[in-house]
Amino acid sequence: MIRVLEIMPLAHSAMEFIGDQLSYFKEQGGYEMHLISTPADGIYEFAEREGTAYYPMVIPRTIEPLQDIKNMWRIFRYVRKHKIDVVIGHQSKGILYGMLPSKLGGAKYRVVLAHGVLEDTMTGLKQKIFATENKIMSSFATHVLCVSPSVMRRRVELGIDKPERQRILGKGTCNGVDALNKFNPQKVPASITESIRDKYGLKKDVFVVGFCGRLVRDKGVTELAGALKLLKDRYPELPVKLFVIGNLEKRDALPDETVNFLKESKDVIFTGRVDYSEIQNYYTVMDAFVLPSYREGFPTVVLEASAMALPLIVSRSTGCIDSIIENQTGVYCDITPESIAEAVMTFADKEKAYRFGQAGRQFVLENFEHTKVKALMLDLLNDITSKRD
């Protein structure tokens, strides 16, 4: 039996975004699955349900040399002890921990799963240092799986990868979204939508612009707040509100002015974090969805919103640029208040918003439905390990 270890710094990424891939690989591919992540509520139950061996490890998000060296030693020992054949490193820390230790530990196949390009928001010497570090880590891998075509291009442009070593699953992502059963507007009862509207005082005539994600500078939240101010000034007759889902973070924190606006403005509904089990319900009160991000890998929230038949407004940044069909499922915006506001007004036309939303849902069903993407991932595993029918 071929043994596969996935290293994911955040447990919720495994539980919410990878989901049942682990059990699928075990049942359909005959793989023995292992998972390492920072422990969190529900992770042990998740691993048991997925039939996966789980090894808890506190993985700091920032560089902590002593802790990082200790963790890399532990992974080296884990790979040797369990005779791991394939190691898949997710995100920067999973890649750092996974590639060299697993090579030294005897893992024959080592996969970098590139979820994004951190260097996109850097310049000068800092960008070169980080790109060089990623190039070194990538050199220890046997394969590089990128989550979007634009991530592939940027990693090549930065000299991190050689094109012939890169792979992608269809049009992108690492697991897609469940557009049939979870992110399906037909599956959300009208009573739930109405209860959310009542909770936040949303009247039927209000034009609701939605955002979901980490509330940090990189996501373009400050520019989005500025766009709302412009809309209120220019179109006072338009009853528009910004519906914001997510937590404030200390890393890459928003300016105080933006935070105060989000918390205090009567035109902003600030929900905080919404549990993943309920997130699909909140999309049903939105009329359009916007992600003016400076960098992404492949934005899962955009696929979720599109699967819920919402028209989309996204930046042309890495990852975002791959997530829509321009002028069919959504529109692009520059990361400026002026451009975002102009894009939002595109969908004040309800007929146009409906048409884009329906096209977007079809786009997700055809290309990013998770049953299709996980089958592609299994094909890739089989190809990497030369385990074919």
Distance CA 65, CA 313 (A): 40
Q: Which two tokens stand for residue 190?
A: 């009208």
Q: How confident is the model at residue 118 (pLDDT cuts 50, 70, 90)?
A: confident
Q: How many CB atoms lie within 10 A of CB 46?
A: 23
d(CA 53, CA 71): 18
**Cα 333 versus chain centre, distance:** 19
In the structure encoding, which two tokens stand for residue 273, read together? 């974090």
Is the separation of the CB atoms in 285 and 196 below 8 Å? Answer: yes
Residue found under tokens 């890739």: 380
Query: Which is it for strands 53-56 and 240-245: parallel, antiparallel or unpaired?
Result: unpaired
Q: Looking at beta carbons, which pairs linking 382-386 to residues 24 or more positions away fall under 8 Å?
A: 382/29, 384/86, 384/109, 384/111, 384/142, 384/143, 385/2, 385/85, 385/86, 385/109
| Two tokens, residue 380 | 């890739």
Average pLDDT, the chain: 95
When pLDDT is cut at 50, 70 and 90, the band that residue 387 belongs to is low
Q: Which pLDDT score is estimated for 19?
A: 84
Q: Round to whole Å and give the CA distance between 119 and 1.
A: 38
pLDDT of residue 389: 46
User: What residues contact residue 105 under an 8 Å CB cut-off, 6+ apart?
Assistant: 75, 76, 77, 78, 79, 80, 84
Q: Say if domain 185-367 classifies as CATH 3.40.50.2000.
A: yes
Lowest mean pLDDT among 57-66, 138-147, 194-203: 57-66
Chain centre distance of CA 106: 31
Query: How far apart, in whole angstroms, are the C-alpha atoms of residue 114 and residue 161?
Result: 11
Report pLDDT digits (tens) over 289-337.
999 999 999 999 999 999 999 999 999 999 999 999 999 999 999 999 9
3-state secondary structure of 314: strand
With respect to CATH, is domain 3-176+370-384 assigned 3.40.50.2000?
Answer: yes
Query: Residues of CATH 3.40.50.2000 domain(s) within the chain?
Result: 3-176+370-384, 185-367
Q: How confident is the model over 104-124, as a mean pLDDT?
A: 93
